[in-house]
Amino acid sequence: MSTQRTYDLNGVDLHRVGRVAESYRRDPESGRKSFDARVEWVGGFRTKARLCDHDPLAGDEPEELAGSATGPAPEEMLLGAVGQCLIVGLASSAAARGIRIESLAVEVQGKANLTAAYGIEEGNPGFDSVEVEVKLDADADRDELEALVDHAVKLAPIPNTVSRPVPVETRLA
């Protein structure tokens, strides 16, 4: 492992990350940040999602599920969010440990019970499980990389949200 301490490793500004962490230490409530999304129906199974202040993201169901495949399915967006969140955690944790990343990719898969989603059978209409494979080439040995992955998974908000029951409160406006 590289023992060189730098404050800009893997594109992560550790000074900035440190300032954020310190602000949370001083005021833990400031670390409870709200995120939002606004999703509008476009027609058929097509949607337009506005995620915070970013450009709209098209969503749709694949053709084999009676959609028109003009954008990713909700299941794909969820799996993408798991992968994106884990990559953010891996990049920052590696930088904090002085580990230089050469390449990093995360493959996320899951099988959803669509027969339950279509009301054909009883059961959980969601994913039965989510599998994540981390492909990481970095200047550390395998034990250090496994510890890094374990640490990132432990602290990653989206994988943690998906892996435990979280209430979803819905109301008609």
Residue that is last in its domain, among 72, 91, 123: 72
Question: What pLDDT score does 165 carry?
Answer: 87
Q: Is the pLDDT of residue 6 over 90?
A: no
Question: What pLDDT score does 127 carry?
Answer: 94
Q: Is the pLDDT of residue 5 over 90?
A: no
Q: Is the pLDDT of residue 3 over 50?
A: no
Map residue 158 onto helix, strand or coil.
helix
Question: What pLDDT score does 161 carry?
Answer: 95
- Tell me how far the alpha carbon of residue 69 is from its chain's centroid: 22
Do 109 and 99 fall within a single domain? yes
CA distance 30 to 16: 16
Instruction: Report the Cα–Cα distance between both ends of the chain, in Å, rounded.
Output: 54
What is the total count of domains within the chain?
Answer: 2
Do 100 and 137 fall within a single domain? yes
pLDDT digits (tens, 9 = 90+) for 56-104: 999 999 999 999 999 999 999 999 999 999 999 999 999 999 999 999 9
Q: Is the separation of the CB atoms in 132 and 147 below 8 Å?
A: no
Question: What pLDDT score does 115 carry?
Answer: 94
Q: Is the pLDDT of residue 156 over 60?
A: yes
166-171 average pLDDT score: 94
CA distance 18 to 5: 14
Do 91 and 60 fall within a single domain? no
Question: What pLDDT score does 36 carry?
Answer: 92
> CA distances (Å), 114 to each of 80, 81, 134, 160, 170, in order?
19, 20, 27, 23, 22
Give the CATH number for residue 144.
Answer: 3.30.300.20
Supply the range of the domain harboring residue 124. Answer: 73-165
Q: What is the mean pLDDT of the chain?
A: 93
Do 77 and 158 fall within a single domain? yes
